Structure 1
Amino acid sequence: MTKSLNNVRLDPETGEAVWVEEDYCSPPLAMEREVLDQYFTDLVIAEEDMTETEGWGRIEKYPLLWDEIKGGV
């Protein structure tokens, strides 16, 4: 989870934070939810059949969320 949150991206079209998390819990992110809910609202899980590498490749074009936040300060 640390790797994923360090690499969170910002979708400039929607303003949403996006990341890839390989998860085997049911429901997804069940163990992480307590922490994630402290920082994110309206958490949406998009379950897709792809590797973690494919998922990150899909969002790598987006800017890093943390860079965007630091730039706005």
Structure 2
Amino acid sequence: MAKRFVRARPKRDQLPDLRERLESGEIEAMEPFGRAMTKALENARFDPASGEAIWIEEDYCVPPLAMERAEVLDDYFTEITIVEEDVDEAAGWQQIDDLPGLWEQILDQA
């Protein structure tokens, strides 16, 4: 298992649908990655300077995030980039802790 430091450009018009899927538990129920993805996306941050969402994702795939992208991420984000392939989770979140939450930033602007 690795923790990936991820940056991606949100498809703003699609994010309300993603928020609904997260809140309904639909994504959390996806095996094997649903619980980890839900946690990561619920805690995602927003970088106002770049317009990107940023999060730390638990991942088992080769290539990285393959299942997650096919099932969820590619529907809601573009330019998905693995910034660091094996980051310490606590240190990764600490790097972005001062950024605003993705959901507050995006949904407040919708």
Q: TM-score, normalised by structure 2?
A: 0.61
Superposed CA RMSD in Å reads 1.3
Q: 2:102 & 2:87 partners in 1: Cα distance?
A: 23
Shift of 1:50: 2.7
Q: Is residue 2:92 matched to residue 1:55?
A: yes
Out of 45, 63, 86, the position equivalent to 1:27 is: 63
Q: CA deviation at 1:48?
A: 4.3
How much identity, in percent, do the aligned residues show?
A: 58
CA distance in 2, matches of 1:3, 1:59: 15
Q: Which has the higher strand share?
A: 2
How far apart, in 1, do the equivalents of 2:68 and 2:107 lie? Answer: 25
Aligned to 2:103: 66
**Equivalent AA in structure 1 for residue 65 of structure 2:** L
Q: Which residue matches 1:12? A: 48
Distance in 2 of aligned mates of 1:33 and 1:70? 22
Tell me, which stretches of 5 or more residues in structure 2 are unaligned? Answer: 1-36
SS at match of 1:20: strand
Q: Whose helix fraction is larger, Structure 1's or Structure 2's? A: 2
> How many residues are matched?
73
